[in-house]
Amino acid sequence: MKNLDPMNKNGFLYPRSRYYGAFSPETLAFNANLQEFAQKISYISALETGGKLSPEEAYTQVKRLWKQLKQSKKELRIGSNPSPETK
């Protein structure tokens, strides 16, 4: 079997969807973080369901990822200023 190009492997393992919301660098960065969070949660859930992770370890990993996402939201100031669409 051929070795996969690392970029193709990452695209397969961590797919990204296009962002259609109101554009700002902060919202785009947060959207990327949110997509990464969702993908990792999906993997953790599958591993726990398949018996490869204990429920406690899955919970710990989800909690850690949630804290990272909350910190990202805070640092990017998402939700602190009304978007142009809501004015």
Three state DSSP letters for the chain: CCCCCHHHHHHHHCCCCCCCCCCCHHHHHHHHHHHHHHHHHHHHHHHHHCCCCCHHHHHHHHHHHHHHHHHHHHHCCCCCCCCHHHC
- Give how far Cα 45 sits from Cα of 11, 48, 74, Å: 20, 5, 26
Which pLDDT tens digits describe the chain residue by residue (87 residues)? 466 676 677 777 777 788 898 999 999 999 999 999 999 999 999 999 999 999 999 999 999 999 999 999 999 999 886 655 544
Q: 3-state SS string over 13-24?
A: HCCCCCCCCCCC
Locate the domains of the chain by residue range. 35-74
Query: Which pLDDT does position 71 carry in this prediction?
Result: 98
What integer pLDDT is reported at residue 4 of this predicted model?
A: 62
Name the pTM for this structure: 0.77
> What is the distance between the alpha carbons of residues 38 and 60, in angstroms, rounded to a whole number?
16
pLDDT of residue 57: 99
